[in-house]
Structure 1
Amino acid sequence: MSVPALSALVVKKTALGLFQVGKEGKYEIVVRNIGPTADPGPITVTDALPEGLTFASSPDTGVRVDGRVVTWTLDEGIPVDGEVTLTLFVRIGATTPPTVMNIVSVDSPTEQVDDAELVSDAGADVAPADPLAATGAEPAWLLALAALLMLVSGGLLLERRRRRTAGTEA
């Protein structure tokens, strides 16, 4: 007689390091099985990225991306007291709000006991983009403006002279 699998999957998501507009941010997702039996899988981990974040990369196998939804499939499951760590790199766009809350969820066909924690979130403050570096172009604009003014002034002086010369010849 076979005993059906019962597991308690626990997911924990953490934002690591600085999140700054124009750069990449890093999340770590840890899925543990605290028992009482192994979860034979497949286990699906789904991360719906919030507005302003887009998928950059993940070094893990079994990852799929559909728009802002990132999904990992753990075909082999997780043994009792085992864990799997997933890494997610995201691009932080200009429209990202000053604080983001990212939620991950776990699903398995195995029956989960009361200790299971199938959803986790991680908040991160988002720093503004680095200021633009000075390019030294300011003096170039002033020189271009001065050259334009000299050209217009020269043209006006030539026109005035031409009219004077034409007036004295008549």
Structure 2
Amino acid sequence: MPLDHPTPVSPVDDHPPILTPEHPFSMHTAAGSSCDVSAGPRVLAGAAFRPDDPDLAGYVLLDWNAFDEWREEEQIVMGHPHDPFKRIDCLPTSRHVAVRIGDTLLAESDRPTLLLETHLPPRHYIPRADVRMEALQRSDTVTVCAYKGQATYWSTWPGPTPTR
């Protein structure tokens, strides 16, 4: 992708910038050049930034939100770029996993996926077919993870207080 029309940008020196989620790439705190990105007939104005820092010579920062999608090989990357220094493994396993609240069995599986993530405890993901969905109620919560994709959440009410 060629970078077109570099525009010099000076760092903000008098006042710290006000950064908002609505304009995440509109303010730079380092000197450098803002660049357009050409991809075929499309031009993404200001979607790249080339810092003046000599330690970063040859590198360009790209605005995540300026692009329609990001891919690692054939897999669409969601949420944010993957961290090259953090290991995440999703392994099929035959471990027996059961989820209970009191005497109520909510899920049981001999085919969960084991998630091993750097600095986090192991987690088990259970196939939907092995979960008693009739015992759960869908919540409004939806999150996105660059590694696991979009997640929806379900709750159960074994008593007067909701349990997540």
TM-score (norm 1): 0.18
Q: Which has the larger radius of gyration?
A: 1
Q: Which has the higher contact order (CA 8 A, sep 6+)?
A: 1
Instruction: From the two aligned structures, give the one with the greater helix fraction.
Output: 1
